[in-house]
Structure 1
Amino acid sequence: MAEFKPVLLTLPSLTPPLAVEVLPFGLTIHRVYVQADGKTHDIVIGPEDPQGHTEVKYVNTVIGRYANRVPVGTHNVSKDGIQGSFTTVTNESPEVSLHGGLKGWDFAIWSKYDTLSDATLFTKSEVETITQAAPGDASAAIFHYTSPDGEEGYEGTLLTETLVALVGPRGVASGPAEHAVGSVVIVYRSRLQEKDKVTPINLTQHWGFNLDASLKDDPEAQSILNHRVTLKASHIADRHANFLPTGNFIPVAEADNGSLAHVHDGKRVGDNWPSGAGYDDYYVLSERTTRQSPHRIKTSEFGPSLNVVKDIFERPNENVLELSSEKSGLAVKFDSNQDGLMFYTNNFSNEKGYRKKIHGGTGEKGDGYRKQSATFIEFHEPLAAFKYPTTTSTDTLLTSNEIYNNYVRADVFLRQVEHTGAA
């Protein structure tokens, strides 16, 4: 089936090379290949067979229409004089609707435009910038999906176009022993198709990273506890016992009874482990120093010469989160225009699922990843922000007079290591 046939994006001119496989099913980042010291790494976990994503939910897929948890029930919203109402459905518990409902966009079948110019939510100037940054037919693709009015209780017909692009080294190396490999850029654009509508939207890529997993002869490679994390965050979201947000935020130094477990300053993930099963927290990013790509673009300003993606490709990455491993020598530095991110350490994984062969698995069901086998890094706006507009910088509402704009950029680096653990 076409939805399970990977679309391969490559930058073959890069040394070492970087490549990504994207599935139209769930807009899934199926693989991220990196060549390091003569070995091929796949730095995201997941099933070997693309069709395994029908059984393993939320692994490297897009999440929509609304990421994370919102209360079940009918919600009345208003923005710019436009009134709206939507009803979220239960799927995680009687009180909680998770990741868009019973059948979210992670199960939607996306279509790839034949050319970048076929997209309607990226301007002519932006397509030119994308083509220059990601040259060649195999370096960038735009996928699209139209969510019908009423899907999973959400109001309005919503067209979404998502750019996935590979670009050459843009990141700044931290020293002579670090080499910039290249970058993965994802840009989400959405627009309501009817007039005078308002709907909530909060998208993310729910991708799970393990930079060591391809070192399959190393018994510690299936764990991310030795990975190091630097996260520039000021607060985490306070939540109820059912994981719904309270609308309040806690300074990272005070969270978890002041244990400093949520102060990620380059420490190992496994050091100063938080109470409970592990990390599964929403972090509000600290104030950034450079101008960010806007969350919304006014439709009245959306014309051929508008170019919002130029800064995404060309300005330096602020490195709001850095994930690195001393074993593989790989590091990924992230940037986004979103106000925060979920950081999840795959606490509830079990070995009944699937594991890629490159990660030492058989590819068969029952040979899955163990707990703490990946760090899921999901950039999106604060939890259920349409309910708490006074405590967040965005209400996550989109009107017919706006275009939703969300991006994440992941810069991949290779660092010099004494032992690669190569098989």
Structure 2
Amino acid sequence: MAEFKPVLLSLPSLAPSLAVEVIPFGLTIHRIFVQVDGRTHDIVIGPEAPEDHTVVKYTNTIVGRYANRVPVGTHTVDKDGVSSQFTAITNESPQVSLHGGPTGFDQRAWTQLPSLSSATLFTPAEISAIAEAAPGESSAAIFTLTSEDGDQGYTGRLLLEVLIAVVQPGPGRTTGGAEHELGSVVIVYRAKVDEKAGEKVVTPINITQHWGFNLDASLKDGPDSLSVMNHNMNMKSTHVAELLPNHLPSGNYIPIAEADGGSGAHVHGNKRIGDGFPKGGYDDYYLLSPRPASASPHRIPLSSFAPSLDLVKGLLVGGRRDPVLELSSDRSGLAVEFDTNQAGLMFYTNNWADAKGYRKKIHGGSGVKGDGYIPQSAAFIEFHEPLSAFLYPTTTSTDTLLTSDEIYNNFVRADVILRRVDHTGTGV
């Protein structure tokens, strides 16, 4: 079926160093291929067959309308004098609604627009910038989905458009042959909620890509290649969310140096993920360190959404950035640096992986059920706004509410880098 037919996005080259396979079902990043030194790596985990994403939940899919955990029940929200109610529906436990409810955006068939110019939530100036930065029909695509009023209990008819692009390296990355940028994956999420019977509407929204990275799995040289415990992480964060026993947020944020009794487990200052590894692994939300206001705001007033507005060009071009998080491996020599306009991220180490589930052939699996990934086999890095922020607006940077006179705007950029270090493995 069309929703399981991969869409390949790659750099315009006979031998591209970076390519992405997108599955319209769940808007899933099925593969991120990295070609270096005659080896092919796939740096995200997941099943071999696209159809198996129907049973392998939240693996590289989009999630929403609301990422992470929301208390089950009816909530009243208000923004700029506009009020509404929505009902979060149980799916993880009687108290918890996870990732948008029982049938979230991860379980929906998205549609690729026939052309970039068909988009309505990207301006003509932005479409021109996309075409310039990602030339050819195989470098960028925009996918769309409509979530009707009442979908999973949420208020308002919501139109979504998501740009996924693979773009060339920027200048200034290669330094003395020791480091070489291979390209970038850029995702821009846009959404608009319609008025209802001529009245303004407000709805919660907080979406992200629930993607899981392993930079060594394609080496296939033993159990260590399936684990991210030896990956290095450098995260620019200040606080970690305090979670209740059912994993719902309390609304409090703890300085990372004080979390886990001051063990230092949550201070990811260029250390191995396995160093100070907490019991049960990581499944935590981090607030990122304060940084200059992004040129790409969270919300775009409709009054400012003119044909000449361009908020994407700066995301698609340019040289080296100041990343908010870096994931790297000395074994493969690969690294990924991330930039975003979101206030924080969820970091999860695949603690509940099903070892009898599904694993890609390029990662040493058979492709069929029975030999899945082991716990701690991926670093899930999910950029989104703080947990249940509409309930705790005084402790977070945004209330995660969208009204019908503005457009939701969220981006993440992943720069893929090869570092010339001594490493082992045969790849494929």
Shorter-chain TM-score tier:
over 0.9
Matched, 1:207 2:211: yes
Cα distance, 1:359 vs structure 2: 0.2
- What letter corresponds to residue 107 of structure 1 in structure 2? Q
- What letter corresponds to residue 215 of structure 2 in structure 1? L
Q: State the partner residue of 2:314.
A: 311
Separation in structure 2 between the aligned mates of residue 342 and residue 228 of structure 1, nearest angstrom: 17
Q: State the partner residue of 2:191.
A: 190
Q: State the partner residue of 2:421.
A: 417
Q: State the partner residue of 2:37.
A: 37
Cα distance, 1:175 vs structure 2: 4.1
Q: State the partner residue of 1:380.
A: 384
Separation in structure 2 between the aligned mates of residue 413 and residue 103 of structure 1, nearest angstrom: 36
Matched position secondary structure for 1:52? helix
Percent of aligned positions with the same letter in both sequences?
A: 65
Q: State the partner residue of 1:233.
A: 237
Separation in structure 1 between the aligned mates of residue 356 and residue 157 of structure 2, nearest angstrom: 37
Q: State the partner residue of 1:270.
A: 274
- What letter corresponds to residue 71 of structure 1 in structure 2? P
Cα distance, 1:186 vs structure 2: 0.2
Matched, 1:115 2:118: no
Matched position secondary structure for 2:357? coil
Cα distance, 1:249 vs structure 2: 0.4
Q: State the partner residue of 2:259.
A: 255
Identify if the C-alpha distance between structure 1 residues 70 and 21 changes in structure 2 by more than 3 Å, giving closer, same or farther. same
Cα distance, 1:290 vs structure 2: 5.7
Matched position secondary structure for 1:220? helix
Separation in structure 2 between the aligned mates of residue 124 and residue 180 of structure 1, nearest angstrom: 29
Contact 1:12 1:18 in 2 (8 A): no
Contact 1:354 1:368 in 2 (8 A): yes
Matched position secondary structure for 2:13? coil
Cα distance, 1:12 vs structure 2: 3.9
Matched position secondary structure for 2:132? helix
Cα distance, 1:222 vs structure 2: 0.3
Separation in structure 1 between the aligned mates of residue 170 and residue 370 of structure 2, nearest angstrom: 40
Cα distance, 1:311 vs structure 2: 2.2
Separation in structure 2 between the aligned mates of residue 341 and residue 186 of structure 1, nearest angstrom: 15
Matched position secondary structure for 2:322? coil
Matched position secondary structure for 1:130? helix
Separation in structure 1 between the aligned mates of residue 153 and residue 214 of structure 2, nearest angstrom: 35
Cα distance, 1:170 vs structure 2: 2.6
Cα distance, 1:46 vs structure 2: 0.2
Cα distance, 1:15 vs structure 2: 6.4
- What letter corresponds to residue 298 of structure 2 in structure 1? H
Separation in structure 2 between the aligned mates of residue 113 and residue 226 of structure 1, nearest angstrom: 40
Q: State the partner residue of 1:179.
A: 180
The aligned length equals: 422
Matched position secondary structure for 1:132? helix
Separation in structure 2 between the aligned mates of residue 351 and residue 406 of structure 1, nearest angstrom: 34
Contact 1:208 1:376 in 2 (8 A): yes
Deviates more, 1:70-79 or 1:211-220: 211-220
**Which of 294, 297, 317 in structure 2 is aligned with 1:294?**
297
Cα distance, 1:352 vs structure 2: 2.1
- What letter corresponds to residue 84 of structure 1 in structure 2? S
Q: State the partner residue of 2:142.
A: 142
Matched position secondary structure for 1:406? strand
- What letter corresponds to residue 220 of structure 1 in structure 2? D
- CA deviation digits over 1:377-415, x for unaligned, max 9? 000000000000111110000000010000000000001
Contact 1:178 1:416 in 2 (8 A): yes
Cα distance, 1:313 vs structure 2: 2.1
Cα distance, 1:310 vs structure 2: 2.0
Q: State the partner residue of 1:282.
A: 285
Cα distance, 1:367 vs structure 2: 1.1
Separation in structure 1 between the aligned mates of residue 101 and residue 215 of structure 2, nearest angstrom: 31
Cα distance, 1:172 vs structure 2: 5.1
Matched, 1:330 2:331: no
Matched position secondary structure for 1:117? helix
Matched position secondary structure for 1:187? strand
Q: State the partner residue of 1:5.
A: 5
Deviates more, 1:15-24 or 1:207-216: 15-24
Matched, 1:346 2:347: no
- What letter corresponds to residue 189 of structure 1 in structure 2? R
Separation in structure 1 between the aligned mates of residue 172 and residue 210 of structure 2, nearest angstrom: 26
Contact 1:64 1:202 in 2 (8 A): yes
Deviates more, 1:315-324 or 1:89-98: 315-324
Which ranges of structure 2 fall in alignment gaps of 5 or more residues? none
- What letter corresponds to residue 192 of structure 1 in structure 2? V
Q: Which residues of 2 match residues 393-408 of structure 1 at below 5 A?
A: 393-408=397-412
Contact 1:170 1:411 in 2 (8 A): no
Cα distance, 1:202 vs structure 2: 0.2
Matched position secondary structure for 1:67? coil
TM-score (norm 2): 0.96
Contact 1:171 1:317 in 2 (8 A): no
- CA deviation digits over 1:16-58, x for unaligned, max 9? 6110000000000000000121100000000000000000000
- CA deviation digits over 1:64-108, x for unaligned, max 9? 100000000000011011111000001111110000000100001
Q: State the partner residue of 2:160.
A: 160
Separation in structure 1 between the aligned mates of residue 149 and residue 56 of structure 2, nearest angstrom: 27
Q: Which residues of 2 match residues 57-68 of structure 1 at below 5 A?
A: 57-68=57-68
Contact 1:72 1:97 in 2 (8 A): yes
Separation in structure 2 between the aligned mates of residue 197 and residue 332 of structure 1, nearest angstrom: 38
